[in-house]
Amino acid sequence: MTPRRFRSFAKINLGLEVTGRLPNGYHELKTLFATVSLHDTIDIAATRGGISVRSDHPGVPCNETNLAYRAAAAMQRLSGRKRGVAIVIHKRIAVGGGLGGGSSNAATVLRALDLMWGLGLGPGRLMEPAKALGADVPYFLFGGPALGLGRGDDIRPLELRLDQKVLLVPGQGGVSTASVFRRFAEDGGPSGAPSRIDSFLRRSLSPGTLRNDLERAAIEESPALAEVARRIRRAGRSAGAIQAAMSGSGSSFFLLFEDAHSRAAASQELRAGGIASLRCSFVSGRSYGHRFELRKAMSRAGRRASNR
């Protein structure tokens, strides 16, 4: 069967606040997610049986531990039929860099198979399997600006227009989420500081007011990251960035700018210092969801044609 192609976008955490500890040992978060235009491409084809995953990136496991594989298995269980599926992941999102690549791939497979198999579940009914796959997976069912509460998996999509220019500095992994949270807890845990996300949303402040509570712990875990963070902040300051912050538990950073010129200046300064960066834009929740509504779009076009 001819494969269907889906983009699988990266996220950044515009702000990430640790607000407490949950009874299951996880940390309670309040985070402001946003989707950026950097994406992997996933080809999904129906096959006679079984699930296969391939990728052009050596860091992506091509077996049943892959989140995209597990997402396909969850969809087989939900549909009650063992339909076969072949998944090919063309990787561009840094692996293990706090950009949610693996979680995005999993959510894309959930929504793509929902569409391809005509199950009509939608993001609402895909929530439970998404939560079982990982804390970041539910966000990627919706995309766009959204608040993440609880483990970060209680998602409230937001009507928030983001039009800043984004400069991503993808990390090369090296800091594990579990060790960053452990270090955060050893350092004394949540500070109890007032939520900047709340005041940002209430008063439409600049994203420059937001913070990532995990940054200090990530930097303590990886001294190399401390040096990179310093240089990114310096480049951001000299080019007039509105915000410079780490995404998730690291190791990627991002800078936000009002205009493309300042962004280009920062990108150049980073490149001169041997740090690669990627220019991207924010993706709205509406355009994020379009990929999975092809049938709706097609049936609307069909209705229009037959009404003529």
Nearer to ligand C5P, 26 or 117 (CB): 26
Q: 159 and 175 in contact (C-beta within 8 Å)?
A: no
Assess 178 for contact with ligand C5P (CB under 6 A): yes
In the bound state, the residue with its beta carbon closest to ligand C5P is 27
Nearer to ligand C5P, 15 or 152 (CB): 152
Segments of the chain assigned E as strands = 4-21, 27-47, 51-55, 84-90, 146-149, 154-157, 165-169, 243-246, 253-257, 278-280, 282-283
For the bound state, the minimum distance from the C-beta of residue 267 to ligand C5P, rounded and expressed in Å, comes to 29
Within positions 134 to 173, which residues make up the interface with ligand C5P, using CB under 6 A? 134-135, 151-152
Helical (H) or strand (E) element with 132: helix 122-133
Q: Is the peptide bond before 247 cis (omega within 30 degrees of 0)?
A: no
DSSP calls for 209-229: G--BTTHHHHHHH-HHHHHHH
Interface pattern 28-67 for ligand C5P (x via CB under 6 A): -x--------------------------------------
Does the annotation mark 82 as catalytic? no
Assess 26 for contact with ligand C5P (CB under 6 A): yes
For the bound state, the minimum distance from the C-beta of residue 168 to ligand C5P, rounded and expressed in Å, comes to 20
Nearer to ligand C5P, 83 or 151 (CB): 151
DSSP calls for 38-97: EEEEEEEEEESSSEEEEES-TTS--STTSHHHHHHHHHHHHHTS--EEEEEEE--SPTTS
How far, in Å, CA of 223 to CA of 245, rounded?
Answer: 17
Looking at the chain, how many residues does it have? 308
How far, in Å, CA of 71 to CA of 85, rounded?
Answer: 11
For the bound state, the minimum distance from the C-beta of residue 28 to ligand C5P, rounded and expressed in Å, comes to 7
Assess 248 for contact with ligand C5P (CB under 6 A): no
Assess 181 for contact with ligand C5P (CB under 6 A): yes
Does the annotation mark 187 as catalytic? no
From the candidates 30, 91, 114, 136, which is the catalytic residue? Answer: 136
Assess 177 for contact with ligand C5P (CB under 6 A): yes
Assess 27 for contact with ligand C5P (CB under 6 A): yes
What is the binding site for ligand C5P (CB under 6 A)? 26-27, 29, 134-135, 151-152, 177-178, 181
Instruction: Catalogue the active-site residues.
Output: 11, 136
